[in-house]
DNA sequence: TTGACATACCTCATAGTTAAAGGTATAAGC
DNA sequence: GCTTATACCTTTAACTATGAGGTATGTCAA
């Protein structure tokens, strides 16, 4: 098994942010709402979670931002840099490893527990 | 979306412990090794993670233990109590919600990123 | 014109979990 | 006698998401 973070399951918000920004540039407030929308309310992260991620990823050079005025509102749009794609692939691969591990361990759950 | 823990993604070790103990009673050291085995080394949790879980779940009445001497070795075997099954179902349902959310958000990843 | 609400940015303290490393003791194999 | 595996345990530290807070602008209705 591969070591990742002190708490190995964390980093999902970062994964989703990178994934969404791989489609098109977005601003923080938009990401917060979009994550709720695309996951059909299954997942949702507050601004106190998303903004720090955007800032630290930009500091790492994974994201770049530009300021835009839209309808008199100031927004910071973020996009993936060249370093963003490999980072996204790495996180996605880690997620897939975790997912597979849990599926293996949970195998046969439905047959025994009808409610699940 | 449903609120769970301060860090919503945690609790996977507990889920796997409950799942394995729903099959048969096991002792701590055995659980540590079994989790690695059944997940094919995809996941692994140290004793510093598993033992506190066993203790707190027993305190909550979700698990019960009995001491056994096997080959001159003292082992504490844990099994699910009546309160264990619903707890397992609840955690499994939460995991399924998270999994579905991520699948939705990641949709179409493979088509765009060949390496994943 | 005042108030409420949505947008859009941000920070901080807290809670909770896992990783990593340490410790004790017994049994088995060389 | 030494090492390795078993089997239990604890503690420290790192990290992350939550929840609550703050600022400021724009829109709309009363």
In angstroms, the separation between the Cα of residue B72 and the nearest Cα of chain A is 30
Q: Is residue A37 part of a domain?
A: yes
Instruction: Output the domain CATH number for residue B41.
Output: 1.10.10.10
Residue A44: nearest nucleotide (C-alpha to C1'): D17
Q: Is the pLDDT of residue B70 over 80?
A: yes
Q: Is residue B78 part of a domain?
A: yes
Q: Is residue B34 part of a domain?
A: yes
Q: Which of residues 76-95 of A touch strand C (CB under 7 A)?
A: 76
Q: Residue A77 belongs to what domain range?
A: 12-108
Q: Is residue A6 part of a domain?
A: no
Q: Is residue B87 part of a domain?
A: yes
Q: Is residue B30 part of a domain?
A: yes
Structure confidence by residue, pLDDT tens digits, A63-88: 999 999 998 899 999 999 999 999 99
Structural domain total, chain A: 1
Q: Which residue has the tokens 């075997």?
A: B77
Q: Could you give the CA distance from residue B66 to residue B89 in angstroms, rounded to a whole number? A: 24
Which of A6, A105, A108, A110 is best to mutate for the B interface (most B CBs within 10 A)? A105
Q: Which of A25-29, A49-53, A58-62, A71-75 has the lowest mean pLDDT?
A: A71-75
Q: Could you give the CA distance from residue A19 to residue A84 in angstroms, rounded to a whole number? A: 10
Element (H, E) at A27: strand A26-27
Coil/strand/helix, residue A67: strand
ipTM: 0.88
Q: Does the C-beta of A51 come within 7 A of strand C?
A: yes
Q: Could you give the CA distance from residue A62 to residue A21 in angstroms, rounded to a whole number? A: 11
């Amino acid at each position: 098994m591969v070591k990742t973070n002190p708490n190995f399951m964390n980093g999902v918000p970062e994964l989703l942010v990178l994934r969404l920004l791989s489609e098109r540039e977005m601003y923080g407030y938009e990401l917060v709402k979009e994550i709720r929308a695309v996951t059909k309310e299954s997942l949702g992260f507050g601004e106190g979670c998303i903004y720090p991620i955007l800032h630290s990823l930009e500091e790492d050079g994974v994201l770049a931002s530009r300021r835009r005025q839209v309808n008199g509102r100031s927004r910071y749009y973020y996009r993936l840099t060249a370093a963003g794609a490999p980072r996204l692939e790495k996180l996605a691969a880690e997620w897939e490893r975790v997912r597979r591990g849990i599926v293996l361990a949970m195998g046969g759950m439905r047959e025994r527990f009808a409610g699940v």
